[in-house]
Amino acid sequence: MADQKNHESGAVTMTQSDLAAVVAAAVSQAVKAQNEYKDPEVVANKARMRANMQTQQKDNLRNKEYRESQCSHLRENNSSRIAWIDNYVASKGVVIREGFCMGCEKHFHPDKEGYMEMVRISTGMNGQGF
């Protein structure tokens, strides 16, 4: 920095690049201070919202498990309420039949429990729709 004081006015002269460096340093310090400050009210609100979301997710999972446990996946005439769909898995080059209960929204996959029992039960619709 060209620190040359004018003896008469007490002014300091500096080059444009020196001024740019001083301003950049000041802005950097101001931004750093702003980013370090955390409003306690905002932090508390975020923590409360996170806790509420986790509670809601646990409740949703518990309700889903309860619905699935109470559903027989059968209609009144003992036909299956499962909607079956054949999905082609390109990575394996095979077609996998998966099901979805229209009553409780349970997903039936060949790797999951209960699949073999449900895939054997007729939907009783014979292509007539729902």
Task: Give 74-129 pLDDT, tens digit per residue.
Answer: 988 888 899 999 989 899 899 999 999 999 989 898 888 888 888 888 877 655 54
- Which tokens sit at 62? 């518990």
pLDDT band, very low/low/confident/very high, at 7 (cuts 50, 70, 90): low
User: What are 108-122's pLDDT values in tens digits?
Assistant: 988 888 888 888 888
Q: Which residue ranges make up each domain of the chain? A: 4-36, 74-119
Which is it for the CA torsion 73, 58, 98, 129, positive or negative?
positive
What is the per-residue pLDDT across 14-51, written as a single tens digit (0 to 9) for each?
A: 888 888 999 898 888 888 777 777 888 999 999 999 99
